[in-house]
Amino acid sequence: MARTFWVGGNWKMNGSVAVIKDLVSKFNASDASSDVEVVLGAPYVYVPLLADSLRKDWAVAGENCYIKASGAYTGEISPEMLHDVGAKWVILGHSERRSILKESDEFTAEKVVKALEAGLKVVLCIGELLEEREAGITQTVVNRQLDAVIKTVKEADWANIVIAYEPVWAIGTGKVATPDQAQEVHAAIRKYLETVVSAKVAEQTRITYGGSVNSGNCKVLAQQPDVDGFLVGGASLKLEFIDIINANN
């Protein structure tokens, strides 16, 4: 089956009301391909603004969530709250959460389960550090990160999960995995899903690439057979994002 190309933006801790209003007006008027599923991830406080003003053929994501629906968890946001204010997706397992905030594979998997239960779709981020790539254990690391989720979700849940392979050494560094490097890991991820989940899940799950994606490198990456789209950082805060959305045209 043909997998619908998927492009997500991750604004991280960036933006303001003025910046978002200006950017949304430009995105809404753009000639972005209607054949691509587009999702924009924004800081919690801007999710309602984005959900209310963004073009309706695009969706909004939260950038993280907690594992409880409510309670005495000061500063946390539940997936139910994200859903309540208009988010349809949530980004989980990003390397900045794993490395800076020390979130484990198991904690990430627990978040995935709770988010799905709350009716959100999930962008599951996985990827290796530079020293792990140099040690030749990229696939071991990626499989370990996947295993935590595979153990906790049902096979049917994979219809609501997009995998974002983001080599940590390429995030925000200007370094990009070569098309061959990206394809190699994406193909291995798909093969692993086939082995440990099912052939159907392997075939249908979209595996996207993230890591300094921009208008200059997106087209050649998009040509790889197992690259089903992108999770975009800094470039998603610019009109350049439209070029990335249209990379597969």
172-210 core/surface letters (b: 16 or more CB in 10 A; e: else): eeeebbebebbbbbbebbbebbeeebeeebbeebbbbbb
Q: How far is residue 103's CA from residue 90's CA, in Å, rounded to a whole number?
A: 16
Segments of 142-195 assigned E as strands:
161-165
Inter-CA distances, 93 with 3, 34, 79, 90, 108, Å? 23, 28, 14, 10, 6
Task: Decide: 52 and 78 in contact? Cβ < 8 Å.
Answer: no
DSSP-H helix ranges across 77-178? 79-84, 95-99, 105-117, 130-134, 138-150
What sign does the dihedral 157-38-20-108 (CA atoms) show?
positive
User: Which residue in 37, 94, 103, 186 is the catalytic one?
Assistant: 94
**Which among 104, 10, 109 is positioned nearest to 50, based on CA atoms?**
10
Q: Is 194 a catalytic residue?
A: no
Q: Is 186 a catalytic residue?
A: no
User: Which residue in 37, 110, 128, 166 is the catalytic one?
Assistant: 166
Q: Which residues are catalytic?
A: 94, 166
